[in-house]
Amino acid sequence: MSQSIHFTKGHGTGNDFVLFADPDGTVELTPSQIAAIADRHFGVGGDGVIRAVRSRHLPEGAAALAEDESAEWFMDYHNADGSPAEMCGNGIRVFARFLIDNGLVELADGDTLSVGTRSGVRDLQRNLSGFQVDLGRWSLDGGEPLVRARNLPVARPGLGINVGNPHVVVALASEEELASADLSYIPHLDPEPTDGANVEFVVPLEPLVKDGVGRIRMRVHERGSGETLSCGTGAVAAALATRHWAGRGAPNQWIVHVPGGTVGVRMFLTEDGEHVSLSGPAELVFEGELAV
């Protein structure tokens, strides 16, 4: 029997999502239903589909509540092809905006919103650009696979970085090379990571560091969604990789230019090691009804 879903379309720097509230966890969509919603020709269209569900109604949500009992809401994130992902850096800011604008949470300036995700509980605050999210610990993970992309003259070694989800970051020689890459095809990784990876292509701006802030430009091919206008976790991975390559003295604050806008990345020390945060806008664009 078909059911009706009230959805909201939102985006963070052009990385766009279909969001809906399912507070009691009664709407279980199949991967093909999710892919149909995300389809840009036959559905609403989006890089991902996000269900807002109370953590206590999901097994992964129970793990989130065990980590932090204030994580009332769980971001149930799926890519455009219907596959689940652990984390989405743009999506979680848009998720916060969605919860607030729908009266599901209140968040005063300076307050923290804790959200359950498949990669653990993540904390957000409002800031001047929209929201800032602490993505927690990161790790060099995934080795240095050789990356080949359509239209790029040579294969280059990438750097595997995990920020809750897997990324491989590749440095290119110039802005021209970055613009010429054809990311409508999945980049070929050798060896192929077991769970796949999001692949970011980066170039430094000139100068790389201005007023103590690192500056890069990036394009991305997202696992499960294809080329997108922005990827928040990808921007974080790209800044971490560039800092790693730049070596001693490289800054802990970065601006990442993506085709859909600009996001900020900051690395900072905490009691449990270095964390990395992402800042950027979160917009809700329109609402509608959808039969699934």
Site for ligand LBFN2T5F in 119-148 (CB under 6 A): none
| Token couple for 34 | 């999710």
Count of beta carbons in the 10 Å neighbourhood of residue 164? 23
Smallest distance from ligand LBFN2T5F to CB 260, Å: 10
d(CA 103, CA 1): 30
116 binds ligand LBFN2T5F (CB under 6 A): no
Establish whether the linkage from the previous residue to 251 is cis, with ω within 30° of 0. no
Selected from 85, 124, 159, 216, the binder of ligand LBFN2T5F by CB under 6 A is 85
DSSP code string of 169-231: EEE-S-HHHHHH-BTTSPPEEESPPTT--EEEEEEEEEEEEETTEEEEEEEEEETTTEEES--
Residues in the interface with ligand LBFN2T5F (CB under 6 A) total 20
Contact range with ligand LBFN2T5F by CB under 6 A, out of 125-133, 201-209, 221-229, 246-254 = 221-229
78 binds ligand LBFN2T5F (CB under 6 A): no
Q: Which amino acid is at 66?
A: A
225 binds ligand LBFN2T5F (CB under 6 A): yes
Contact range with ligand LBFN2T5F by CB under 6 A, out of 53-61, 108-116, 217-225, 239-247 = 217-225
Please check if 165 is assigned to a binding site. yes
Least Cα distance to 178 among 61, 275, 259 occurs for 259
State residue 97 phi and psi, 5-degree precision. -60, -45
CA angle 60, 61, 67 (to 5 degrees): 100
Please check if 223 is assigned to a binding site. yes
CA angle 280, 282, 287 (to 5 degrees): 165
Site for ligand LBFN2T5F in 229-258 (CB under 6 A): 231-234
d(CA 40, CA 24): 28
Site for ligand LBFN2T5F in 180-209 (CB under 6 A): 198
Catalytic residue among 49, 64, 88, 189: 88
Contact range with ligand LBFN2T5F by CB under 6 A, out of 23-31, 140-148, 216-224, 269-277 = 216-224
223 binds ligand LBFN2T5F (CB under 6 A): yes
CA angle 58, 112, 135 (to 5 degrees): 70
88 classed as catalytic: yes
Catalytic residue among 71, 231, 240, 263: 231
- Three-class HEC string of 5-56: EEEEEEEECCEEEEEEECCCCCCCCCHHHHHHHHCCCCCCCCCEEEEEEEHH
Instruction: State which residue, 8 or 198, has the beta carbon closest to ligand LBFN2T5F.
Output: 198
55 binds ligand LBFN2T5F (CB under 6 A): no
Instruction: State which residue, 78 or 291, has the beta carbon closest to ligand LBFN2T5F.
Output: 78
As annotated, the active-site residues are: 88, 231
Binding site for ligand LBFN2T5F (CB under 6 A): 15, 47-48, 79, 85, 88-91, 165, 198, 222-225, 228, 231-234
